[in-house]
Amino acid sequence: MGIFYDLTVPEGYVFAMGDNRAESKDCRAFGCVPVSKVESKVAMRFWPFSKWGKVN
């Protein structure tokens, strides 16, 4: 995978990385993902620390 020093994520897109940087096929390989293609459910917030915890 390439190393990114300067990357601008376009509005309406997300940049996601896998948890195994050396082996993951993630946005570094195929580019940013349109928000409209993201299917998920938030269960826990880690950032900002002032709002850390379970999300209802």
- DSSP assignment, residue 37? G
CA angle centred on 41, ends 39 and 5, rounded to 5°: 70
Q: Give residue 2's pLDDT.
A: 60
The pTM of this model reads 0.61
- The tens digit of pLDDT for each residue in 1-56 reads 566 678 899 999 999 888 887 788 888 888 899 999 999 888 999 988 999 999 88
Q: Provide the 10 A C-beta neighbour count for residue 28.
A: 17
Report the pLDDT value the prediction gives residue 4, as an integer from 0 to 100. Answer: 65
pLDDT at position 3 is: 67
